[in-house]
Structure 1
């Protein structure tokens, strides 16, 4: 795995978060969405309702689970400044690897969540909206990186002659490519028989992308 194994406290936190999600999904599958309540989730997960709210704002959050978010620390600042390598796609890969470290890695949740979301279009729409927000955050970080490289404000308009690059358009393209790589890694990880980690699959997927764009395919 790409990072040190988490400590005991962190493992307990992740185990509790996983138990809450498992309980929410299994109630929805076995008894329907109407039966999913914070009290019932807490009972099945063997936690108090107060503990539940330390992890999720509501029952829908427990059903939908975790979406990746950009780090709010020096990692993001380093990316905007052009790090860690100076290569945009490689650095996007490093940024997303950092973002996915907090995600719960449990293959069994994937099939159960998909089953629930197929029967609940409103929750599926919320899931898609949260991923759209994540894409927008990535796009914004890339715009800021382009601007920093040019010594300009992030949203400076294209000049009349059109000589200033349309950084927003390029940033959107790059962010969508990054999300496609994340999706590819998720598929590969969920289909794998071996005890791989999502972070490792994401690193492999970005390496595969680099191989595809850096040489001719025959």
Structure 2
């Protein structure tokens, strides 16, 4: 695993967040979306409504789960400045690893969430919109990094969008591999592996 094992408090926080998501999805599957309320989610997850709101702003948030977002800190600044390795795609991989460290997921939730989203077009649309926002975040970060190399704004936009789409494709690949894998693998590790494989493809060193 790439990062250190979380402490007891962090494990409890993740377990509570996971329990809330599990409860919300199972209510939706078993009883329909109209049965999903904050009170019922809280009851099934064995938390108070106040605790629920410490984790999610509303019931839709619990159903949709967490979307990645770029870290607005030293990791993003290092990327924009040209680091940490000096290779755009490899550095994007590092940035996305930082973005996904806080994602709390359980393989068993993936199929349940997909089932709920297929039955709820409005939730599916919200998920797609949030992913578009994340893509725009990645594009902005890439654009800031390469702006000095591409003074033409059209070329800058095209290059930034292409790099973002390639990076997000690698993220999806890692997600699929992780969700399909047996054993105690971690999303961060799969993401690192996917970007290493992408680098091999790009450099034509794949055998």
TM-score category of the 2 structures, normalised to the smaller one: over 0.9
Rounded to whole Å, the distance in 2 between the matches of 1:25 and 1:189 is 21
Q: Where do 5+ consecutive residues of structure 2 fail to align?
A: none
Residue 157 (structure 2) aligns with: 168
Q: Could you say what secondary structure the match of 1:188 adopts? A: helix
Residue 101 (structure 1) aligns with: 101
Residue 192 (structure 2) aligns with: 203
Q: Could you say what secondary structure the match of 1:3 adopts? A: coil
Q: Where do 5+ consecutive residues of structure 1 fail to align?
A: 159-163
The two structures have a TM-score, normalised by structure 2, of 0.96
How do 1:32-51 and structure 2 match up within 5 A?
Answer: 32-51=32-51
Residue 184 (structure 1) aligns with: 173
Q: Is the 8 A contact 2:146 2:156 kept in 1?
A: yes
Residue 61 (structure 1) aligns with: 61
Q: Is the 8 A contact 1:105 1:197 kept in 2?
A: no
> Which structure has the greater CA radius of gyration?
1
Rounded to whole Å, the distance in 1 between the matches of 2:140 and 2:46 is 40
Rounded to whole Å, the distance in 1 between the matches of 2:113 and 2:51 is 22
Residue 27 (structure 1) aligns with: 27
Q: Is the 8 A contact 1:64 1:113 kept in 2?
A: yes
Q: Could you say what secondary structure the match of 2:4 adopts? A: coil
Can you list the C-alpha shifts for 1:62-115, whole angstroms capped at 9, x where unaligned? 000000000011010000000100000000000000010001131000010001
Rounded to whole Å, the distance in 2 between the matches of 1:168 and 1:4 is 37
- What number of residue pairs does the alignment pair up? 207
The two structures have a TM-score, normalised by structure 1, of 0.91
Pair 100,126 (structure 1): closer, same or farther in 2 beyond 3 Å: same
Moved over 3 A (4+): none
Q: Does 1:133 align with 2:122?
A: no
Rounded to whole Å, the distance in 2 between the matches of 1:133 and 1:97 is 18
Pair 126,143 (structure 1): closer, same or farther in 2 beyond 3 Å: same
